[in-house]
Protein backbone atom coordinates (compact mmCIF):
# COMPACT_ATOMS: atom_id res chain seq x y z
CA UNK A 1 0.00 0.00 0.00
CA UNK A 2 1.27 3.48 -0.92
CA UNK A 3 0.21 7.07 -0.26
CA UNK A 4 0.97 8.77 -3.58
CA UNK A 5 3.59 11.00 -1.97
CA UNK A 6 6.59 10.62 -4.28
CA UNK A 7 9.87 10.13 -2.41
CA UNK A 8 12.33 10.43 -5.23
CA UNK A 9 12.63 11.43 -8.88
CA UNK A 10 14.50 8.44 -10.25
CA UNK A 11 15.75 7.34 -13.65
CA UNK A 12 15.58 4.28 -15.88
CA UNK A 13 19.13 2.93 -16.15
CA UNK A 14 18.36 0.12 -18.61
CA UNK A 15 15.51 -1.84 -20.18
CA UNK A 16 15.85 -5.44 -21.35
CA UNK A 17 12.99 -6.66 -23.54
CA UNK A 18 12.21 -10.34 -23.02
CA UNK A 19 9.47 -11.24 -25.47
CA UNK A 20 6.18 -10.47 -23.73
CA UNK A 21 7.89 -9.01 -20.65
CA UNK A 22 10.68 -6.59 -19.78
CA UNK A 23 13.30 -6.25 -17.07
CA UNK A 24 13.89 -2.72 -15.84
CA UNK A 25 16.92 -1.44 -13.97
CA UNK A 26 16.03 1.77 -12.17
CA UNK A 27 18.23 4.24 -10.34
CA UNK A 28 16.97 5.61 -7.01
CA UNK A 29 19.53 5.97 -4.20
CA UNK A 30 16.90 6.94 -1.62
CA UNK A 31 14.33 4.19 -2.20
CA UNK A 32 17.04 1.52 -2.43
CA UNK A 33 18.67 2.38 0.90
CA UNK A 34 16.75 -0.39 2.66
CA UNK A 35 15.37 -2.30 -0.33
CA UNK A 36 15.85 -6.05 -0.64
CA UNK A 37 14.67 -8.88 -2.86
CA UNK A 38 10.89 -9.23 -2.75
CA UNK A 39 10.15 -5.68 -1.60
CA UNK A 40 7.72 -3.43 -3.46
CA UNK A 41 8.50 -0.04 -5.00
CA UNK A 42 6.01 2.06 -6.95
CA UNK A 43 7.34 3.29 -10.31
CA UNK A 44 5.14 5.98 -11.86
CA UNK A 45 2.35 4.59 -9.71
CA UNK A 46 2.89 0.94 -10.68
CA UNK A 47 3.72 -1.45 -7.85
CA UNK A 48 6.78 -3.49 -8.89
CA UNK A 49 8.63 -6.25 -7.03
CA UNK A 50 12.35 -5.81 -6.44
CA UNK A 51 14.31 -8.66 -8.04
CA UNK A 52 17.79 -7.41 -7.20
CA UNK A 53 19.56 -4.32 -5.90
CA UNK A 54 22.87 -2.72 -6.79
CA UNK A 55 24.68 0.53 -6.06
CA UNK A 56 21.67 2.81 -5.79
CA UNK A 57 19.72 0.75 -8.33
CA UNK A 58 17.13 -2.01 -8.36
CA UNK A 59 15.78 -4.34 -11.02
CA UNK A 60 12.18 -5.41 -11.55
CA UNK A 61 10.45 -7.72 -13.99
CA UNK A 62 7.40 -6.23 -15.73
CA UNK A 63 4.91 -8.71 -17.17
CA UNK A 64 2.73 -8.26 -20.27
CA UNK A 65 -0.35 -7.40 -18.16
CA UNK A 66 1.44 -4.43 -16.61
CA UNK A 67 2.94 -3.30 -19.92
CA UNK A 68 -0.52 -3.40 -21.54
CA UNK A 69 -2.31 -1.52 -18.76
CA UNK A 70 0.26 1.16 -18.00
CA UNK A 71 2.67 3.53 -19.72
CA UNK A 72 5.76 1.66 -18.50
CA UNK A 73 6.23 0.11 -21.93
CA UNK A 74 7.11 3.56 -23.31
CA UNK A 75 10.02 4.01 -20.89
CA UNK A 76 13.61 3.83 -22.12
CA UNK A 77 17.04 4.34 -20.64
CA UNK A 78 17.24 7.91 -19.36
CA UNK A 79 13.49 8.30 -18.71
CA UNK A 80 12.67 9.99 -15.41
CA UNK A 81 10.29 8.17 -13.07
CA UNK A 82 8.47 8.80 -9.81
CA UNK A 83 9.52 6.42 -7.03
CA UNK A 84 7.84 5.60 -3.72
CA UNK A 85 8.36 2.91 -1.11
CA UNK A 86 5.32 1.28 0.56
CA UNK A 87 3.62 2.93 3.50
CA UNK A 88 5.14 1.85 6.81
CA UNK A 89 2.51 0.57 9.25
CA UNK A 90 1.90 3.29 11.80
CA UNK A 91 3.24 6.04 9.54
CA UNK A 92 1.42 9.19 8.47
CA UNK A 93 -0.94 8.93 5.51
CA UNK A 94 0.11 12.05 3.62
CA UNK A 95 -1.86 11.45 0.41
CA UNK A 96 -4.57 8.79 0.12
CA UNK A 97 -4.65 4.99 0.02
CA UNK A 98 -2.95 3.90 -3.21
CA UNK A 99 -2.52 0.26 -4.26
CA UNK A 100 -0.11 0.73 -7.13
CA UNK A 101 -2.58 -1.12 -9.39
CA UNK A 102 -3.04 1.05 -12.47
CA UNK A 103 -6.63 1.25 -13.77
CA UNK A 104 -5.72 2.74 -17.13
CA UNK A 105 -3.80 5.49 -18.86
CA UNK A 106 -4.76 9.05 -19.67
CA UNK A 107 -3.18 11.68 -21.89
CA UNK A 108 -2.13 15.19 -20.96
CA UNK A 109 -4.25 17.57 -23.03
CA UNK A 110 -2.99 20.97 -21.91
CA UNK A 111 -1.00 22.87 -19.28
CA UNK A 112 -2.05 26.33 -18.10
CA UNK A 113 0.52 28.15 -15.93
CA UNK A 114 -0.68 30.23 -12.99
CA UNK A 115 1.20 32.64 -10.76
CA UNK A 116 2.25 29.96 -8.27
CA UNK A 117 0.79 26.77 -9.72
CA UNK A 118 -0.14 25.07 -12.96
CA UNK A 119 -3.47 23.63 -14.10
CA UNK A 120 -3.13 20.39 -16.08
CA UNK A 121 -5.99 18.90 -18.11
CA UNK A 122 -5.90 15.13 -18.62
CA UNK A 123 -8.06 13.08 -21.01
CA UNK A 124 -9.90 10.37 -19.09
CA UNK A 125 -10.88 6.89 -20.37
CA UNK A 126 -14.68 6.55 -20.43
CA UNK A 127 -14.75 3.52 -18.12
CA UNK A 128 -13.00 5.47 -15.33
CA UNK A 129 -15.06 8.67 -15.49
CA UNK A 130 -17.63 7.54 -12.90
CA UNK A 131 -14.92 7.16 -10.26
CA UNK A 132 -13.53 10.70 -10.66
CA UNK A 133 -15.30 13.49 -8.80
CA UNK A 134 -14.59 17.13 -8.04
CA UNK A 135 -12.40 17.45 -4.91
CA UNK A 136 -11.88 13.68 -4.89
CA UNK A 137 -8.52 11.91 -4.99
CA UNK A 138 -6.77 10.40 -7.99
CA UNK A 139 -3.27 9.08 -8.59
CA UNK A 140 -1.45 10.35 -11.69
CA UNK A 141 1.88 8.63 -12.40
CA UNK A 142 1.99 7.68 -8.74
CA UNK A 143 1.28 11.19 -7.42
CA UNK A 144 -1.69 11.62 -5.09
CA UNK A 145 -3.68 14.62 -6.33
CA UNK A 146 -7.00 16.38 -5.76
CA UNK A 147 -9.35 16.67 -8.73
CA UNK A 148 -10.22 20.30 -9.53
CA UNK A 149 -12.88 19.67 -12.19
CA UNK A 150 -14.30 16.41 -13.49
CA UNK A 151 -16.08 15.75 -16.80
CA UNK A 152 -17.07 12.66 -18.76
CA UNK A 153 -13.90 12.68 -20.85
CA UNK A 154 -11.34 14.61 -18.82
CA UNK A 155 -10.37 16.05 -15.44
CA UNK A 156 -8.07 18.81 -14.26
CA UNK A 157 -5.52 18.96 -11.46
CA UNK A 158 -3.64 21.86 -9.89
CA UNK A 159 0.09 21.35 -9.35
CA UNK A 160 2.02 23.27 -6.71
CA UNK A 161 5.71 24.21 -7.20
CA UNK A 162 6.89 21.28 -5.06
CA UNK A 163 5.06 18.75 -7.25
CA UNK A 164 6.34 20.42 -10.41
CA UNK A 165 9.92 20.34 -9.16
CA UNK A 166 10.07 16.90 -7.54
CA UNK A 167 8.00 14.67 -9.85
CA UNK A 168 7.77 13.85 -13.55
CA UNK A 169 4.57 15.90 -13.76
CA UNK A 170 6.79 18.96 -14.04
CA UNK A 171 8.26 17.77 -17.33
CA UNK A 172 5.34 15.93 -18.96
CA UNK A 173 4.01 17.63 -22.08
CA UNK A 174 0.67 17.62 -23.94
CA UNK A 175 0.33 14.28 -25.69
CA UNK A 176 2.32 12.37 -23.07
CA UNK A 177 0.61 9.34 -21.44
CA UNK A 178 0.16 9.08 -17.68
CA UNK A 179 -0.83 6.19 -15.44
CA UNK A 180 -4.12 6.59 -13.59
CA UNK A 181 -5.35 4.87 -10.44
CA UNK A 182 -8.77 5.89 -9.16
CA UNK A 183 -9.81 5.76 -5.52
CA UNK A 184 -10.29 2.07 -4.69
CA UNK A 185 -12.96 2.96 -2.10
CA UNK A 186 -15.21 4.23 -4.90
CA UNK A 187 -14.91 0.90 -6.70
CA UNK A 188 -15.73 -1.06 -3.56
CA UNK A 189 -18.80 1.11 -2.89
CA UNK A 190 -20.02 0.55 -6.44
CA UNK A 191 -19.51 -3.19 -6.12
CA UNK A 192 -21.20 -3.49 -2.72
CA UNK A 193 -24.19 -1.25 -3.43
CA UNK A 194 -24.86 -1.72 -7.09
CA UNK A 195 -22.82 -4.66 -8.43
CA UNK A 196 -21.98 -2.40 -11.38
CA UNK A 197 -25.66 -1.63 -12.06
CA UNK A 198 -27.04 1.75 -13.13
CA UNK A 199 -27.26 4.61 -10.64
CA UNK A 200 -31.04 4.23 -10.35
CA UNK A 201 -30.81 0.52 -9.66
CA UNK A 202 -28.03 1.06 -7.12
CA UNK A 203 -30.09 3.72 -5.35
CA UNK A 204 -33.06 1.36 -5.21
CA UNK A 205 -30.83 -1.31 -3.69
CA UNK A 206 -29.72 1.12 -0.98
CA UNK A 207 -33.32 2.14 -0.25
CA UNK A 208 -34.36 -1.51 0.00
CA UNK A 209 -31.52 -2.27 2.43
CA UNK A 210 -32.68 0.57 4.72
CA UNK A 211 -36.25 -0.72 5.05
pLDDT in tens, 131-179: 999 999 999 999 999 999 999 999 999 999 999 999 999 999 999 999 9
Q: What is the mean pLDDT of the chain?
A: 90
Would you say residue 210 lies in a domain?
A: no
Report the percentage of the chain scoring pLDDT > 70.
92
- pLDDT score at 211: 47
Q: What is the pTM of this model?
A: 0.83
pLDDT band, very low/low/confident/very high, at 195 (cuts 50, 70, 90): low
Q: Is 207 left (phi over 0), alpha (psi -120 to 50) or beta?
A: alpha
Same-domain status, 78 and 123:
no
Residue 82 has pLDDT above 60, yes or no: yes
| CATH number for 157 | 2.40.30.20
Total tally of structural domains belonging to the chain = 2
- pLDDT score at 159: 94
- The parent domain of residue 142 ranges over 104-191
**Tally of CB atoms within 10 A around 189:** 13
Residue that wins the pLDDT comparison between 87 and 10: 10
Same-domain status, 66 and 140:
no
What mean pLDDT comes out for the span 52-69?
94
pLDDT in tens, 98-113: 889 999 999 999 999 9
pLDDT band, very low/low/confident/very high, at 196 (cuts 50, 70, 90): low
Would you say residue 136 lies in a domain?
A: yes
Amino acid sequence: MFTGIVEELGEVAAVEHLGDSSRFTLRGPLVTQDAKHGDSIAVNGVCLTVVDTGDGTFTADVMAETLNRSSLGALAAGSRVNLERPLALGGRLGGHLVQGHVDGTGTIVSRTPGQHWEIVKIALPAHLARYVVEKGSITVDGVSLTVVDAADDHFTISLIPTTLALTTLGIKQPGDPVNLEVDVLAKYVERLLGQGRSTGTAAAAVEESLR
